[in-house]
Protein backbone atom coordinates (compact mmCIF):
# COMPACT_ATOMS: atom_id res chain seq x y z
CA UNK A 1 0.00 0.00 0.00
CA UNK A 2 1.26 3.45 -0.88
CA UNK A 3 0.41 6.39 1.29
CA UNK A 4 -0.76 9.38 -0.76
CA UNK A 5 -1.79 11.55 2.20
CA UNK A 6 0.91 14.03 1.21
CA UNK A 7 -1.08 15.01 -1.88
CA UNK A 8 -4.06 16.15 0.18
CA UNK A 9 -1.78 18.07 2.56
CA UNK A 10 0.14 19.80 -0.24
CA UNK A 11 -3.08 20.55 -2.10
CA UNK A 12 -4.42 22.30 0.97
CA UNK A 13 -1.16 24.24 1.43
CA UNK A 14 -1.23 25.49 -2.18
CA UNK A 15 -4.92 26.32 -1.96
CA UNK A 16 -4.32 28.34 1.22
CA UNK A 17 -1.50 30.32 -0.34
CA UNK A 18 -3.68 31.08 -3.37
CA UNK A 19 -6.41 32.45 -1.07
CA UNK A 20 -3.78 34.45 0.84
CA UNK A 21 -2.43 35.90 -2.43
CA UNK A 22 -5.98 36.86 -3.43
CA UNK A 23 -6.28 38.83 -0.17
CA UNK A 24 -2.76 40.31 -0.30
CA UNK A 25 -3.10 41.52 -3.86
CA UNK A 26 -6.65 42.83 -3.63
CA UNK A 27 -8.16 40.09 -5.77
CA UNK A 28 -11.72 38.98 -5.18
CA UNK A 29 -11.99 35.91 -2.92
CA UNK A 30 -12.35 32.79 -5.04
CA UNK A 31 -11.43 34.56 -8.29
CA UNK A 32 -8.40 32.30 -8.89
CA UNK A 33 -8.94 28.68 -9.93
CA UNK A 34 -6.28 26.12 -9.09
CA UNK A 35 -5.65 23.77 -12.01
CA UNK A 36 -3.88 20.80 -10.38
CA UNK A 37 -1.43 19.55 -13.01
CA UNK A 38 -1.43 15.76 -12.75
CA UNK A 39 0.67 14.89 -15.83
CA UNK A 40 2.81 11.75 -15.37
CA UNK A 41 0.94 10.94 -12.13
CA UNK A 42 -0.99 7.65 -11.94
CA UNK A 43 -4.70 7.62 -11.10
CA UNK A 44 -4.04 6.39 -7.55
CA UNK A 45 -1.97 9.50 -6.86
CA UNK A 46 -4.70 11.77 -8.30
CA UNK A 47 -7.60 10.17 -6.42
CA UNK A 48 -6.66 11.63 -2.99
CA UNK A 49 -6.98 15.14 -4.46
CA UNK A 50 -10.46 14.25 -5.74
CA UNK A 51 -11.42 12.69 -2.41
CA UNK A 52 -10.24 15.91 -0.71
CA UNK A 53 -12.76 17.77 -2.87
CA UNK A 54 -10.59 19.19 -5.64
CA UNK A 55 -12.19 19.06 -9.08
CA UNK A 56 -10.04 20.98 -11.61
CA UNK A 57 -7.07 19.20 -13.19
CA UNK A 58 -4.65 19.74 -16.05
CA UNK A 59 -2.94 17.24 -18.34
CA UNK A 60 -0.48 17.91 -21.14
CA UNK A 61 -0.90 14.77 -23.27
CA UNK A 62 -4.15 13.61 -24.83
CA UNK A 63 -3.21 9.94 -24.90
CA UNK A 64 -2.02 9.84 -21.29
CA UNK A 65 -5.18 11.64 -20.15
CA UNK A 66 -7.35 9.17 -22.07
CA UNK A 67 -5.77 6.36 -20.10
CA UNK A 68 -6.61 7.64 -16.64
CA UNK A 69 -9.43 10.21 -16.68
CA UNK A 70 -12.47 8.30 -18.01
CA UNK A 71 -12.20 5.97 -14.98
CA UNK A 72 -11.78 8.86 -12.53
CA UNK A 73 -14.66 10.73 -14.15
CA UNK A 74 -16.94 7.74 -13.63
CA UNK A 75 -16.27 8.16 -9.88
CA UNK A 76 -16.26 11.98 -9.86
CA UNK A 77 -18.55 13.14 -12.69
CA UNK A 78 -18.32 16.84 -11.80
CA UNK A 79 -14.58 17.19 -12.40
CA UNK A 80 -13.19 19.69 -14.95
CA UNK A 81 -10.29 18.65 -17.15
CA UNK A 82 -7.94 21.12 -18.87
CA UNK A 83 -5.57 20.36 -21.74
CA UNK A 84 -2.43 22.42 -21.12
CA UNK A 85 -0.06 20.76 -23.59
CA UNK A 86 0.31 21.06 -27.38
CA UNK A 87 -2.57 19.62 -29.42
CA UNK A 88 -1.86 17.89 -32.74
CA UNK A 89 -4.65 18.14 -35.28
CA UNK A 90 -4.92 14.33 -35.47
CA UNK A 91 -5.79 14.24 -31.73
CA UNK A 92 -8.52 16.90 -31.86
CA UNK A 93 -11.34 14.36 -31.91
CA UNK A 94 -10.14 12.72 -28.68
CA UNK A 95 -9.37 16.08 -27.07
CA UNK A 96 -12.84 17.50 -27.74
CA UNK A 97 -14.41 14.34 -26.34
CA UNK A 98 -12.33 14.36 -23.14
CA UNK A 99 -11.43 17.92 -22.14
CA UNK A 100 -13.66 20.66 -20.74
CA UNK A 101 -11.09 23.38 -21.40
CA UNK A 102 -8.41 23.45 -24.12
CA UNK A 103 -5.79 26.03 -23.19
CA UNK A 104 -3.47 25.57 -26.14
CA UNK A 105 -5.22 26.88 -29.24
CA UNK A 106 -2.24 28.28 -31.15
CA UNK A 107 -2.83 28.15 -34.91
CA UNK A 108 -5.53 28.49 -37.58
CA UNK A 109 -5.34 24.84 -38.69
CA UNK A 110 -6.13 23.78 -35.11
CA UNK A 111 -9.00 26.26 -34.88
CA UNK A 112 -10.45 24.79 -38.08
CA UNK A 113 -10.27 21.21 -36.74
CA UNK A 114 -11.73 22.23 -33.38
CA UNK A 115 -14.67 23.89 -35.11
CA UNK A 116 -15.32 20.71 -37.12
CA UNK A 117 -15.09 18.35 -34.14
CA UNK A 118 -17.14 20.57 -31.86
CA UNK A 119 -19.91 20.57 -34.46
CA UNK A 120 -19.61 16.83 -35.02
CA UNK A 121 -19.69 15.95 -31.31
CA UNK A 122 -21.97 18.72 -30.10
CA UNK A 123 -19.44 19.47 -27.37
CA UNK A 124 -18.12 22.96 -26.66
CA UNK A 125 -14.93 22.88 -24.60
CA UNK A 126 -13.84 26.34 -23.49
CA UNK A 127 -10.87 27.59 -25.46
CA UNK A 128 -7.85 29.64 -24.44
CA UNK A 129 -5.26 30.95 -26.88
CA UNK A 130 -1.65 30.14 -26.01
CA UNK A 131 0.60 33.17 -26.44
CA UNK A 132 4.36 32.85 -26.91
CA UNK A 133 5.10 35.89 -24.76
CA UNK A 134 8.86 35.39 -25.02
CA UNK A 135 8.69 34.98 -28.83
CA UNK A 136 10.80 31.82 -28.40
CA UNK A 137 11.28 30.11 -31.78
CA UNK A 138 10.97 26.57 -30.36
CA UNK A 139 7.88 27.30 -28.26
CA UNK A 140 4.23 26.97 -29.23
CA UNK A 141 1.93 29.95 -29.09
CA UNK A 142 0.78 32.96 -31.05
CA UNK A 143 3.24 35.85 -31.31
CA UNK A 144 1.98 38.61 -28.97
CA UNK A 145 1.67 41.07 -31.88
CA UNK A 146 -0.54 38.59 -33.78
CA UNK A 147 -3.03 38.00 -30.97
CA UNK A 148 -5.71 40.49 -32.09
CA UNK A 149 -5.62 39.21 -35.69
CA UNK A 150 -5.76 35.58 -34.57
CA UNK A 151 -8.71 36.25 -32.27
CA UNK A 152 -10.51 38.00 -35.13
CA UNK A 153 -9.79 35.03 -37.40
CA UNK A 154 -11.10 32.59 -34.76
CA UNK A 155 -14.30 34.60 -34.57
CA UNK A 156 -14.88 35.50 -38.23
CA UNK A 157 -13.54 32.45 -40.03
CA UNK A 158 -14.23 29.65 -37.53
CA UNK A 159 -17.01 30.97 -35.30
CA UNK A 160 -14.91 30.33 -32.20
CA UNK A 161 -14.89 32.61 -29.18
CA UNK A 162 -11.81 31.94 -27.02
CA UNK A 163 -12.47 32.90 -23.38
CA UNK A 164 -8.91 33.86 -22.50
CA UNK A 165 -5.17 33.59 -22.93
CA UNK A 166 -2.45 31.35 -21.48
CA UNK A 167 1.34 31.57 -21.46
CA UNK A 168 4.43 29.65 -20.38
CA UNK A 169 7.19 32.25 -19.84
CA UNK A 170 10.79 31.48 -20.85
CA UNK A 171 12.42 29.47 -18.02
CA UNK A 172 15.47 31.70 -17.79
CA UNK A 173 13.61 35.01 -17.39
CA UNK A 174 11.72 36.54 -14.47
CA UNK A 175 8.09 35.73 -15.28
CA UNK A 176 6.41 38.95 -14.17
CA UNK A 177 6.96 40.89 -17.40
CA UNK A 178 5.39 37.99 -19.30
CA UNK A 179 2.41 37.84 -16.95
CA UNK A 180 1.91 41.58 -17.30
CA UNK A 181 2.06 41.34 -21.10
CA UNK A 182 -0.49 38.51 -21.16
CA UNK A 183 -2.79 40.47 -18.83
CA UNK A 184 -2.58 43.52 -21.07
CA UNK A 185 -3.32 41.50 -24.24
CA UNK A 186 -6.36 39.89 -22.58
CA UNK A 187 -7.63 43.23 -21.34
CA UNK A 188 -7.24 44.83 -24.78
CA UNK A 189 -9.13 41.93 -26.33
CA UNK A 190 -11.84 41.97 -23.64
CA UNK A 191 -11.15 38.35 -22.61
CA UNK A 192 -11.92 37.38 -19.00
CA UNK A 193 -9.64 34.36 -18.44
CA UNK A 194 -5.88 34.39 -17.83
CA UNK A 195 -4.02 31.10 -17.32
CA UNK A 196 -0.54 31.86 -16.00
CA UNK A 197 1.70 30.87 -13.10
CA UNK A 198 3.08 27.46 -12.08
CA UNK A 199 4.52 26.01 -8.84
CA UNK A 200 7.43 28.47 -8.69
CA UNK A 201 5.59 31.69 -9.55
CA UNK A 202 1.83 31.41 -9.13
CA UNK A 203 1.71 34.13 -6.48
CA UNK A 204 3.29 36.67 -8.87
CA UNK A 205 0.78 35.56 -11.51
CA UNK A 206 -2.11 36.15 -9.10
CA UNK A 207 -0.77 39.63 -8.36
CA UNK A 208 -0.85 40.34 -12.11
CA UNK A 209 -4.38 39.05 -12.67
CA UNK A 210 -4.28 35.26 -13.21
CA UNK A 211 -7.70 33.61 -13.08
CA UNK A 212 -6.18 30.13 -13.49
CA UNK A 213 -2.86 28.94 -12.05
CA UNK A 214 -1.41 25.61 -13.21
CA UNK A 215 0.36 23.93 -10.31
CA UNK A 216 1.88 20.45 -10.54
CA UNK A 217 4.99 19.63 -8.53
CA UNK A 218 4.00 21.69 -5.47
CA UNK A 219 0.99 19.36 -5.11
CA UNK A 220 2.06 15.99 -6.50
CA UNK A 221 5.82 16.19 -5.90
CA UNK A 222 8.67 15.99 -8.39
CA UNK A 223 8.00 14.25 -11.67
CA UNK A 224 10.15 11.51 -13.14
CA UNK A 225 12.61 13.54 -15.27
CA UNK A 226 12.39 11.05 -18.16
CA UNK A 227 8.70 11.76 -18.63
CA UNK A 228 8.61 15.28 -17.22
CA UNK A 229 7.68 16.94 -20.52
C1 LIG B 1 3.91 20.86 -16.17
C2 LIG B 1 3.19 22.11 -16.46
C3 LIG B 1 2.78 22.95 -15.41
C4 LIG B 1 3.05 22.66 -13.95
O5 LIG B 1 4.38 22.87 -13.65
P6 LIG B 1 4.91 22.80 -12.12
O7 LIG B 1 6.17 23.56 -12.17
O8 LIG B 1 5.08 21.35 -11.81
O9 LIG B 1 3.89 23.43 -11.28
C10 LIG B 1 2.09 24.10 -15.74
N11 LIG B 1 1.81 24.42 -17.03
C12 LIG B 1 2.18 23.63 -18.05
C13 LIG B 1 1.84 24.04 -19.44
C14 LIG B 1 2.88 22.46 -17.80
O15 LIG B 1 3.26 21.68 -18.84
What are 168-201's pLDDT values in tens digits? 999 999 999 999 999 999 999 999 999 999 999 9
What's the gap in Å between 193 CA and the centre of ligand 1? 18
Percent of residues, the chain, with pLDDT higher than 70: 96
**Atom 13 in ligand 1: residue holding the nearest Cα:** 84
Q: Give the atom of ligand 1 at the shortest distance from the alpha carbon of 220.
A: 8
Label residue 224 by pLDDT band (50, 70, 90): confident
- Give the integer Cα–Cα distance in Å for 226 and 229: 8
Which of 213, 210, 139, 146 has the alpha carbon at shortest distance from 180? 210
How far apart are the CA of 120 and the centre of ligand 1, in A?
31
Any ligand 1 atom below 6 A from CB of 216: yes
Report yes or no: 92 and 68 within 8 Å, Cβ to Cβ: no
Q: What mean pLDDT comes out for the span 64-76?
A: 97
Q: Tell me how far apart the alpha carbons of residues 22 and 20 are, in angstroms, rounded to a whole number.
A: 5
**For ligand 1, atom 12: residue with the closest CA:** 84
Q: Is the pLDDT of residue 131 over 80?
A: yes
What pTM, to 2 d.p., does this model score?
Answer: 0.96
Condensed to tens digits (0 to 9), the pLDDT of residues 207-220 reads 999 999 999 999 99
What was the pLDDT predicted at 1? Answer: 38
Angle CA 89–135–133, to nearest 5: 85
Closest CA relative to residue 157, chosen from 111, 120, 90? 111
User: pLDDT for 88-118, tens place per residue?
Assistant: 999 999 999 999 999 999 999 999 999 999 9
Q: Is the pLDDT of residue 125 over 80?
A: yes
What local confidence, expressed as pLDDT, does residue 109 receive?
Answer: 98
Model confidence over 22-63: pLDDT tens digits? Answer: 999 999 999 999 999 999 999 999 999 999 999 999 999 999
**What backbone torsions phi and psi does residue 107 show, to the nearest 5 degrees?**
-165, 155
Closest CA to 16 of 226, 154, 208, 202: 202
Amino acid sequence: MTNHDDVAVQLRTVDESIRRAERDFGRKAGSVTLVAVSKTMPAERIRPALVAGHRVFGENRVQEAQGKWPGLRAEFPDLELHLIGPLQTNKVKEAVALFDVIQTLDRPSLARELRKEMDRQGRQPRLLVQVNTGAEPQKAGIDPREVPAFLAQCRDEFGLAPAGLMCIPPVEEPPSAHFALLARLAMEAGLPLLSMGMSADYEAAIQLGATHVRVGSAIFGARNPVSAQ
